[in-house]
Amino acid sequence: MAYCRNCGTEMPDIAKVCPRCGTVKGAGVNFCPVCGEPTRAGMAACIKCGAALANIDPNVTSIKQKSKIVAILFGVFLGMFGVHNFYLGYTAKAVTQLFITVITCCICAPVSAIWGFIEGILIICGEISTDGKGNPLKE
């Protein structure tokens, strides 16, 4: 059994929402999900049982969103080195672009440059709208 982080009601493990208050499982900061002990916003662990309180504050976004403008500029101007893909977290593509440019002593750099330029345009058009972790790009 788990406890609702919002109201402290005991919930079955398979429940997706609290049967008492309707809060999504894991949302809230008022109670420990393991023992039901009252907690406060900002606590990293429960004082009673020591359980980690993953959802410390639902009003604070912990996702570090990548900038769409920075990704576009990197893609258009430094695309042949894969800088935009390194920035966005697409490491395999970035290494491939860097590899094509460096290993061929820049002979095939135009291929990577065109590839990067096209990806920069795709970011502008919204076709590429998330980073490597699936987080949306900020404007």
- Residue 74, both tokens: 């990197």
Angle between helices 91-103 and 109-125 (to 10 degrees): 150
The whole-angstrom separation of Cα 79 and Cα 115 is 7
29 in Cβ contact with 58 (< 8 Å): yes
Q: Is pLDDT at 6 greater than 90 in this prediction?
A: no
Highest mean pLDDT among 59-63, 123-127, 129-133: 123-127
pLDDT, position 55: 54
In this structure, the dihedral spanned by the alpha carbons of residues 78, 81, 91 and 118, taken in order and rounded to 10 degrees, is 60
Tell me the per-residue pLDDT of 38-68, one tens digit each, with 9 for 90 and over: 988 778 888 888 888 865 444 444 567 899 9
75 in Cβ contact with 97 (< 8 Å): no
pLDDT, position 118: 95
Angle between helices 68-78 and 109-125 (to 10 degrees): 160
SS3 103: helix
Task: Give the confidence band of 74 by pLDDT, cuts at 50, 70, 90.
Answer: very high
**Better pLDDT: 1 or 30:** 30
18 in Cβ contact with 11 (< 8 Å): yes
What is the average pLDDT value for the chain, to the nearest integer?
A: 87
Q: Is the dihedral of CA 32, 38, 43, 45 positive or negative?
A: negative
Highest mean pLDDT among 29-38, 40-49, 73-82: 73-82
pLDDT, position 63: 62
pLDDT, position 40: 83
pLDDT, position 46: 86
Average pLDDT over residues 105-133: 92
